[in-house]
Amino acid sequence: VGENGVGSNAQDLSVIPGKVHRLNPDGTIPADNPFPGSPIWSYGLRNSFGFSFHPVTGSLFLSEAGPNSDDEVNRIVRGDNYGWPAGRGCANDPGFRDPLLAFTPVVTPTGNAVLHSNRYPAQFLHNLFIGEWNTGRIRRSMLAGTPDTEALPPSTFLDLGGGFEPNGILDLKMGPDGHLWFSTPNSIRRIVFTLPIPLPTLASSGTPAIGNQILLSLLGNPGEAAFLLLTSPGTAFRRVISPGVIPPLGVSSTVLGIPNDPTLVGRALVARGFTVNAAFQVSASGPLEV
């Protein structure tokens, strides 16, 4: 909910505007909300526009339009204060949570989506895609951290030519067909990648370090069984992970905590993916060093 043109609303926990609210489906307030008896989940927000959830980690990403500077994309965390109106952009104030991304000059970020299908090359998997109203662009940012607490500077994925109507992006979503869909003031469009994508294919994101988490994903054919084999050359480390059957969108993912094993320090972790079809035929991805 936006702050209704009154900046002080965003910091006032007794009013509705300027917040993200969390309610049960029947309208009651969840018992584990951060402020007892209140629907408020997070606050200090100016003009929230679009949001999406990471399909594996559950993180909530929210697009936030600034006034004349510091558009933001925030990772929304339970009970956190995002600073408006005192803190804008990356304020480095310990009282506020800084955004994942900040934009000056403003671009007006609108809808966003985390890609989670095998309809695009593996390097796009679990990237955050962001529509922009001012520019007519869709940009993508690679998520990093442990495993999605950081966002790398975005690059242009698609450019409709810029300049508000008719090409400003209003919304951006993952469709049930696994493609990215977006709307402008006069159209609804689908983005289709037409080159063949080899399956199975492995992808990873996150910061590979002892004790950190990384996200390992196997792109394959829906309905096939999925297996991941992790090794570290020069050590006895070996781990097999079975994430189950590959779901309809063609991606099976798991969050792996890198074990606190002294033999792994300074070495590579190598993953390979395998799929097994109904005829018990095995297909393997190439090795992926993470």
Express each pLDDT in 51-101 by its tens digit.
999 999 999 999 999 999 999 999 999 999 999 999 888 888 899 999 999
Of residues 100, 112, 103, 203, the one with CA closest to residue 157: 112
**More confident site: 205 or 249:** 249
**More confident site: 161 or 256:** 256
What pLDDT does residue 182 have? 96
The 8-class DSSP code of residue 101 comes to E
Q: Helix or strand or coil: residue 140?
A: strand
What pLDDT does residue 164 have? 55
Report the range of poorest mean pLDDT among 10-14, 105-109, 260-264.
260-264
Q: Is the dihedral of CA 9, 11, 16, 18 positive or negative?
A: positive
Of residues 101, 121, 104, the one with CA closest to residue 61: 101
Q: Is the pLDDT of residue 260 over 90?
A: no
Relative to beta strand 187-191, strand 270-276 is: unpaired
**More confident site: 122 or 161:** 122
**Torsion angle in degrees (nearest 10) through CA of 181, 24, 1, 16:** 180
What pLDDT does residue 165 have? 62
Q: Per residue in 5-53, pLDDT tens?
A: 999 999 999 999 999 999 999 999 999 999 999 999 999 999 999 999 9
What pLDDT does residue 162 have? 64
Q: Please answer whether residues 282 and 240 qualify as being in contact, where contact means their C-beta atoms are separated by less than 8 angstroms.
A: no
**More confident site: 179 or 165:** 179
What pLDDT does residue 134 have? 92
Segment 172-194 shows an average pLDDT of 95
What pLDDT does residue 131 have? 96
What pLDDT does residue 205 have? 87
Q: Please answer whether residues 286 and 270 qualify as being in contact, where contact means their C-beta atoms are separated by less than 8 angstroms.
A: no
What pLDDT does residue 163 have? 57
Q: Is the pLDDT of residue 187 over 60?
A: yes
Residue 7: how many CB atoms within 10 A of its CB?
A: 15
